[in-house]
Amino acid sequence: MAALASCCDARRAGHLWRVRIEDVDEPRARADAADDILRTLARYGFRWDGAVEAQSRRTARYEAALAQLVAAGRAYPCACARRALASAPVGASGERIYPGTCRAGVPPALAARPQRAWRVRVDDAVVAFVDRLQGPQRQDLARDVGDFVVRRADALFAYQLAVVVDDAEQGVTEVVRGADLLASTPRQIHLQRLLGLPTPTYLHVPVAVDASGEKLSKQTRAPPLPDDPLPALLAAWRFLDQPAALARPASVDAFWRHAFAAWTPARLPPVAMLPAPR
């Protein structure tokens, strides 16, 4: 559904639509997952512009961005283990707020721990932006998140830094994605400002949940997409509350012709989560 919304939004505006494989968490990435994703998109009639970028091949760019942050005094090493932060307060986004343990240097009690993550200082940054669907957003980073990780202790780069670097290098002007990522957007805008990068516009569309309120995903054992694309495309279109065609499209190509012409962001349900489409 996120792919459907972003593709329609791009085509309706006469823009390019990019596909990026966000496999920065390499230990969790299956070797065949990217090919499966691309084959599924193609079978469902998605057509993307330009080469497909993969984050696993872009580590040097992220290293350069981190080096820029460190040189500016905006990032610092952190020796805190995740379990040590389990008692930290929970912010508005549902995440633990980093208490600043290593902000002034790694404490002697943690010096023997060899692993080091890298965190970005948020100081007194308050980030406000207007989402095209969810409306005005405002986050006090110190109060709601704290200094956040841009490179993990296992040396893998965090999603926050990777997408900021990738969006800027690919010339992304509009981001359309699931509303489950809305709370992380202020961190990305903070990084864009620190790195002197442009800020895209954002549109966070509803995500589907199962009967227990969990987002549909492999982790929640959601079924895979069916081999027949048309019923699933129509279900996703209805889920996004988009205008129905006068007659049921007879083919995938007919669906896409209608979708590109009829796409209306103003009709999107202005909520973060909705029941799974039928």
Q: Which domains does the chain have, with CATH numbers?
A: 1-56+206-278 (3.40.50.620), 58-158+185-201 (3.40.50.620)
Q: Which two tokens stand for residue 208?
A: 């589907």
pLDDT at 167: 97
What residues are paired with 202 via a beta bridge? 175
Backbone angles phi, psi at 208, to 5 degrees: -90, 145
Q: What angle do CA 155, 181, 39 make, to 5 degrees?
A: 80
Question: 37-40 contacts: CB < 8 A, separation 24 or more?
Answer: 40/225
pLDDT at 121: 98
Q: What is the pLDDT along the chain (278 residues), one digit of tens a residue?
A: 999 999 999 999 999 999 999 988 766 667 688 899 999 999 999 999 999 999 999 999 999 999 999 999 999 999 998 888 888 998 887 889 999 999 999 999 999 888 999 999 999 999 999 999 999 999 999 999 999 999 999 999 999 999 999 999 999 999 999 999 999 999 999 999 999 999 999 999 999 998 888 898 878 888 889 999 999 999 999 999 999 999 999 999 999 999 999 999 999 999 999 998 88
pLDDT at 104: 95
pLDDT at 29: 63
- What residue type is 207 in one-letter code? V
What residues are paired with 21 via a beta bridge? 54
Beta strands 201-205 and 174-178 are parallel
Backbone angles phi, psi at 253, to 5 degrees: -60, -40
pLDDT at 212: 86
Contact 20, 53 (CB under 8 A): yes
pLDDT at 77: 97
Contact 235, 277 (CB under 8 A): yes
3-class state of residue 215 by DSSP: strand
Q: Which residues contact 127 (CB under 8 A, 6 or more apart)?
A: 138, 139, 141, 186, 187, 189, 190
**Where does the chain show beta strands of DSSP type E?**
20-21, 53-54, 75-78, 117-120, 126-131, 135-140, 148-151, 174-178, 201-205, 207-209, 273-275
Q: Which two tokens stand for residue 90?
A: 């929970």
Nearest to 149 by CA among 169, 186, 121, 108: 121
pLDDT at 25: 78
